DNA sequence: CTGTTAGCGCTTTCAC
DNA sequence: GTGAAAGCGCTAACAG
């Protein structure tokens, strides 16, 4: 079994040193034209592909960033992944994705794995069950930016959406549509996003004088449906439901119809994230839109500044430690 | 700026050789207990993380596979990504995802990138606009398996879903529900999946004596809606629509309601892929279900056999070059 | 039980 | 213009 061709193989064929081949392949013009052409030709002929492992070992840079989040199945992150990948690629970076499957151990494992691969930087959306993983990252020299999350008392760079505002906007909209008893199906309160969204929900209620009704539900497949079905075994006073995210909103829509409620006839429904921006679903859900492209690119830009600063401390650091991206209200068919 | 700790640093602190550290870290028991414990403790203390680049350089194995497909935004692939990642991780492999954004050049670039990173194997879902990328892979020693696709006349390993059967089942179901003029919104015919689905659609029509109506539409955001809106500027005879995939089906549902058609009252609708298996969407769409977990694991198993065979030619090759996974009919609310 | 040596494929440095 | 030598961090092979 013959091995993959290396620069040495090219050098041998061309009768020059490996060094010269390396130079030519990296575009040096200080080599005689004849040799340059010969090397380029031979490289193509034998199907040479540079070994980036070896490259990285020597240069120290992998031109790779890692993105760590929970699950590809969450379309919010799937879309984010796409935009990050696209933007990173346009900047010459390759992206490693590692997922945590909602497990705190797996989260630490994912961080260690990508650190061991010497990525130049990390975009990290933590589960926030604990701070082990982020503490681990703080103890390393690899720059990282928190993606859509932040920790109280942890001094890390982050890019987040204005979740308080998003929830405020959707809740206010429901109130303006006449709802008075709004059930908020939130995610777990250890996630900062849930906390902020709850604050926005409460702020709107306060302004309009409504009572809060909050139920914490997992984002996993079927959990929103289960919760709603259980809840509606008894009569409920709600005239609107707000969900932590659109995927939960879709489950709520499905379940409400299942139990004979018309949306928006009998009950109003709004979600958050604004997935409608990237997909056309069977019905359009009123929602607070987060521009995932902006989120992806701001996070990547911030990370790049950190990477460049680290390589050359003359380069500037980001002027803010936290970037907050505003959300906008999308009016769908469910209100 | 102090660098990342290496085994040498540990060796120095412990007063032994780097080699000994390496042995201990890999679990050798032939080292004195005292030293083993000291090394383990020091490694933890200084936050040592093994450099897998260096490891791979030496051993030749990266314990990494690459998955190449078009776009994370396609939930079919997002779910597949999740299952592949989960399964690969359980087998000790890390997964590199590279996406092609529907571009033939980007496809070749993605293959070269992952090859340069010396992945042990590749799962590849080609765009099928051309065969450049697959030809590139055939010319390398890195084993690969085609994921959900196959090429006529290309002798590669592949795991695919039984798309002919899926389309047959959904079409037959529409016919049994009384539909006679079924519009098939297919994807582009250069994709083998489209060809097979078209064959299944035609087979069912033949059995029941219906006329084919096929329109090729891009899977991209909004394209199905555009196509349907354009089509329905004039009256149309269709009493059912079948779409290449569920995401197109959702767009169709949304658009049909937009133009005042009730589903299933005025017109029946079915998709393919069975995304309902992994998500609860606002309405459930009749569809042909592909078990993405099975697809992921069969493909990974096949790839592993190829990887092991390559490392040790005593190990067996897969007995079939192509694995076909059956599809099942899911009855939703749209028929 | 432990150390020494060599080398994976590449780039950097210094030399001519 | 080009080459030789060294070394990135690790592990395999051979010593002892």
State whether residue A60 is helix, strand or coil. Answer: coil
Contact B145, B134 (CB under 8 A): no
- Closest listed residue to residue A71, CA positions, set A48, A39, A43, A103: A103
B334 domain-assigned: no
State whether residue B161 is helix, strand or coil. Answer: strand
Residue nearest to nucleotide C2 (CA to C1'): B20
Q: Can you give the pTM of this predicted structure?
A: 0.96
Give Cβ neighbours of residue A244 (< 8 Å, ≥ 6 apart): A184, A185, A186, A187, A193, A194, A197, A217, A219, A271, A272
Same domain? A100 vs A148: yes
Same domain? A152 vs A222: no
Q: What percent of chain A has pLDDT over 70?
A: 99
Q: Which nucleotide is nearest to B57 (CA to C1')?
A: C8
Q: Is B154 exposed, middle or buried (0-12, 13-18, 19+ CB in 10 A)?
A: middle
DSSP letters for B255-323: HHHHTT--TTTT-EEE-SB-GGGT---SSPPBEEE--HHHHHHHHHHHHHHHHHHHH-TTSPPPS-SEE
Q: Which two tokens stand for residue B320?
A: 């079939």
CA of B22 to C1' of D5 (A): 27
Number of structural domains (chain A) is 3
C-alpha of B3 from chain center: 38
| Residue pairs between chains A and B whose CB atoms are closer than 8 Å | 145
What is the pLDDT averaged over residues A271-295? 98
Contact B181, B238 (CB under 8 A): yes
DSSP letters for B89-122: HHTT-EEEEEE-TT-HHHHHHHHHHHHHTT-SEE
Same domain? A221 vs A305: no
What number of CA atoms fall less than 13 Å from residue B50's CA on the CB side?
16
What is the pLDDT averaged over residues A300-308? 97
B129 domain-assigned: yes
Residue nearest to nucleotide D6 (CA to C1'): A58
Same domain? B95 vs B157: yes
A15: left (phi over 0), alpha (psi -120 to 50) or beta: left
Same domain? A168 vs A286: yes
Domain containing A128 equals 64-161+292-325
DSSP letters for A146-196: EES---TT---EEEEE-HHHHHHHHHHHHHHTT--SEEEEE--TTSHHHHH
Q: Is the CB of A311 under 7 A from strand C?
A: no
State the first-to-last Cα distance of chain A, in angstroms, to the nearest integer: 65
- Closest listed residue to residue A134, CA positions, set A108, A105, A159, A97: A108
* Nearest-angstrom CA–CA distance, A163 and A290: 9
Q: Which residues pair with A185 in a beta bridge?
A: A215, A243
B132 domain-assigned: yes
Same domain? B172 vs B267: yes
Q: Where are the beta strands (DSSP E) in chain A?
A: 64-69, 94-99, 121-124, 144-147, 157-161, 182-186, 213-216, 240-243, 268-270, 287-289, 322-325, 328-330
Q: Which two tokens stand for residue B51?
A: 């450099």
Question: Is residue A37 predicted with pLDDT exceeding 80?
Answer: yes
A38 domain-assigned: yes
Residue A244 confidence class, pLDDT cut points 50, 70, 90:
very high
Query: Residue A40 has what DSSP assignment?
Result: H
Same domain? A272 vs A237: yes
Which range among A8-12, A27-31, A75-79 shows the weakest confidence by mean pLDDT?
A: A27-31
Q: Is B256 exposed, middle or buried (0-12, 13-18, 19+ CB in 10 A)?
A: buried
Q: Which two tokens stand for residue A233?
A: 């075994």
What number of CA atoms fall less than 13 Å from residue A243's CA on the CB side?
29
Please identify residues in chain A, positions 18-57, with a C-beta within 7 angstroms of any atom of strand D. Answer: 18-20, 23, 30-32, 35-36, 54, 57
What is the pLDDT averaged over residues A16-31? 92
CATH of the domain at A42: 1.10.260.40
Sheet containing strand A182-186, edge to edge, reads A213-216, A182-186, A240-243, A268-270
Q: Is the CB of B51 under 7 A from strand D?
A: yes
Contact B43, B14 (CB under 8 A): no
Query: Residue A292 has what DSSP assignment?
Result: H
Q: Tell me which residues of chain A, numbers 159 to 178, contact chain B at a CB-CB cutoff of 8 Å.
A: none
Q: Is the CB of B90 under 7 A from strand D?
A: no
- B1: closest CA of chain A, how far (Å): 9
Give the model's pLDDT for residue B27.
87
pLDDT by position in tens, chain B (length 335): 568 999 999 999 999 999 999 999 998 888 889 899 999 999 999 999 999 999 999 999 999 999 999 999 999 999 999 999 999 999 999 999 999 998 999 999 999 999 999 999 999 999 999 999 999 999 999 999 999 999 998 999 999 999 999 999 999 999 999 999 999 999 999 999 999 999 999 999 999 999 999 999 999 999 999 999 999 999 999 999 999 999 999 999 999 999 999 999 999 999 999 999 999 999 999 999 999 999 999 999 999 999 999 998 889 999 999 999 999 999 999 99
- A259: closest CA of chain B, how far (Å): 13
What number of CA atoms fall less than 13 Å from residue B136's CA on the CB side?
23
Contact A300, A88 (CB under 8 A): yes
A57 domain-assigned: no
Give the model's pLDDT for residue A227.
98
Q: Which nucleotide is nearest to B55 (CA to C1')?
A: D10
Give the model's pLDDT for residue B160.
98
A58 domain-assigned: no
Same domain? B170 vs B249: yes
Question: Is residue A1 predicted with pLDDT exceeding 80?
Answer: no
* Nearest-angstrom CA–CA distance, A285 and A250: 8
Sign of CA dihedral B171, B176, B177, B183: positive
What phi and psi, each to the nearest 5 degrees, are found at residue A117?
Answer: -95, 10
A157: left (phi over 0), alpha (psi -120 to 50) or beta: beta
Give the model's pLDDT for residue A214.
98
Same domain? A20 vs A112: no
Which range among A41-50, A94-103, B27-36, B166-175 shows the weakest confidence by mean pLDDT?
A: B27-36
CATH of the domain at A143: 3.40.50.2300
Q: Is the CB of A329 under 7 A from strand C?
A: no
Same domain? A211 vs A121: no
Q: Where are the beta strands (DSSP E) in A212-311?
A: 213-216, 240-243, 268-270, 287-289
Give Cβ neighbours of residue A237 (< 8 Å, ≥ 6 apart): A181
Contact B256, B215 (CB under 8 A): no
* Nearest-angstrom CA–CA distance, A256 and A250: 10
Q: Which two tokens stand for residue B286?
A: 């009749």
Radius of gyration, alpha carbons of chain B: 25
Q: Is the CB of B28 under 7 A from strand D?
A: no
Same domain? B74 vs B107: yes
Helices A7-14/A18-25 angle, 10° precision: 110
A56 domain-assigned: no
Same domain? B243 vs B278: yes
Sign of CA dihedral A118, A121, A124, A128: positive
Residue A313 confidence class, pLDDT cut points 50, 70, 90:
confident
Contact A187, A201 (CB under 8 A): no
B70 domain-assigned: yes
- A6: closest CA of chain B, how far (Å): 11
**Average pLDDT across chain B, whole number:** 96
Give the model's pLDDT for residue B3.
80
Q: Which residues pair with B286 in a beta bridge?
A: B270
State the first-to-last Cα distance of chain B, in angstroms, to the nearest integer: 65
Interchain contact A52–B (C-beta under 8 A):
yes
- Closest listed residue to residue A273, CA positions, set A101, A129, A102, A75: A75
């Amino acid at each position: 079994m013959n091995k993959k061709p290396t620069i040495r193989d090219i050098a041998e064929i061309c009768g020059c040193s490996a060094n010269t081949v390396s130079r030519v392949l990296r575009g040096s013009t200080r080599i005689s034209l004849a040799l340059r052409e010969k090397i380029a030709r031979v490289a193509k002929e034998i199907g040479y592909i540079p070994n980036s492992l070896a490259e990285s070992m020597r240069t120290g840079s992998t031109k790779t960033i890692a993105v760590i989040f929970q699950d590809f199945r969450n379309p919010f992150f799937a879309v984010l992944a796409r935009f990050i990948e696209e933007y990173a690629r346009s900047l010459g970076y390759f992206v490693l994705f590692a997922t945590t499957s909602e497990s705190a151990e797996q989260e630490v494992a994912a961080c260690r794995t990508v650190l061991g691969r010497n990525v130049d930087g990390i975009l990290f959306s933590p589960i926030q069950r604990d701070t082990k993983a982020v503490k681990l990252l703080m103890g390393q020299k690899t720059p990282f930016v928190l993606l859509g999350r932040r920790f109280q008392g942890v001094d890390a760079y982050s890019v987040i959406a204005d979740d308080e505002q998003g929830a405020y906007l959707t809740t206010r909209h429901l109130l303006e549509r006449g709802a008075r008893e709004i059930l908020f199906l939130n995610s777990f309160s250890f996630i900062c996003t849930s906390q902020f969204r709850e604050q926005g929900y409460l702020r709107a209620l306060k302004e309009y004088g409504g009572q809060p009704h909050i139920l914490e539900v997992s984002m996993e497949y079927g959990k929103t449906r289960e919760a709603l079905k259980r809840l509606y075994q008894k009569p409920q006073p709600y005239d609107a439901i707000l969900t932590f995210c659109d995927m939960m909103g879709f489950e709520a829509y499905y379940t409400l119809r299942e139990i004979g409620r018309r949306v928006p006839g009998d009950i109003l429904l709004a979600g958050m994230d604004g997935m409608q921006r990237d997909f056309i679903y069977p019905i359009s859900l009123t929602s607070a839109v987060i521009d995932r492209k902006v989120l992806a690119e701001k996070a990547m830009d911030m990370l790049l500044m950190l990477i460049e600063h680290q390589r050359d401390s003359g380069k500037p650091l980001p002027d803010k430690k936290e970037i907050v991206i505003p959300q906008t209200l999308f009016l769908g068919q469910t209100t």
